[in-house]
Structure 1
Amino acid sequence: MNSNDAGAEAAEPLAELIANLKPMNTPMEVAECSGIKIGTLARWRSMGVGPRFVKIGRTVHYPKEEIIRCLSENIYQSAGEAREGTRHEDPEELRLRRRDQRRRVHRRMPRRADTDTGAPTRPQNRHDAGGTQGTRP
């Protein structure tokens, strides 16, 4: 298979998308045509992944060729193939990207023990996180 065949195969699933895209597209237009959410496009822009874009002032536009290029580069036969395609040459870059993607994790507060029985007790109300109430340090 030569490079022209690979491009033709990638273009087949994208044929309807290609027909509906304008030369320059807003994130909303890309979302309507491709099914990629506007928030996902915004996250990709901030992470430096996804289709390249043009920004003039506060307005973002995606060139048609960049959308097609990005989507056709990410067509895979299996999950294993996709994992291989996402490997970064620089492990430090990957570590930093993963750190930036992490969401804040909410941890449960440990229950406080009842001083008489030693059994765990529930907080009195939603503002009582399990500490001593009514005392100041």
Structure 2
Amino acid sequence: MTSNDTGNAADATEPLAELTANLKPMNTPIEVAQCSGIKVGTLARWRSMGIGPRFVKIGRTVHYPKEEIVRCLSENIYQSAGEAREGTRHEDPEDLRLRRRDQRRRVHRRVPRRTDTGTSAPTGPENRHDTGGTQGTRP
């Protein structure tokens, strides 16, 4: 290691010193959000995508080990945007393509209206959905 390498390592851990001091050994997403400024929703999205700090799930409760939070954040300290782009590049382009496809599936798509002109039933909003029962009638 050169003197520049040790200086960069010290620079990388310095911003995380206060975070490390404030974290408990195991932290909930709310505690991580309060200490780090990362939103709870961002942590949830990272968990679903398989990125970000590794976590422990006990029942329904998610916990982040202190070491994993510090490791994840220290791996993502960059000098420039170009360096950050290189750091986030996926090894497998197929993996990235599948993740993008999954994200596109969540988008709501409109279903076009049917235009049946051969039927005698009106095509207004009252007949658009089949209720499956006898609404409005009493036995």
Fold shared by both chains (TM-score > 0.5)? yes
Alignment root-mean-square deviation, CA: 2.5
CA drift of 1:20 comes to: 0.6
Letter in structure 2 aligned against 1:96: L
1:95 matched to which residue of 2? 97
Q: Percent identity?
A: 79
> 1:63 aligned to 2:65?
yes
Secondary structure of the 2:64 match is strand
**Within 2, Cα distance between the matches of 1:75 and 1:101?**
26
5+ residue gaps in structure 1?
A: 110-128
Deviations 1:50-77 (A, max 9, x none): 0001111111110111000101111111
1:31 matched to which residue of 2? 33
1:76 matched to which residue of 2? 78
5+ residue gaps in structure 2?
A: 117-121, 128-139
Secondary structure of the 2:102 match is helix
1:51 matched to which residue of 2? 53
Secondary structure of the 1:55 match is strand
CA drift of 1:6 comes to: 3.6
CA drift of 1:11 comes to: 1.1
Kindly tell me the number of residue pairs found equivalent between the two proteins: 116
**Within 2, Cα distance between the matches of 1:43 and 1:86?**
16
CA drift of 1:99 comes to: 2.0
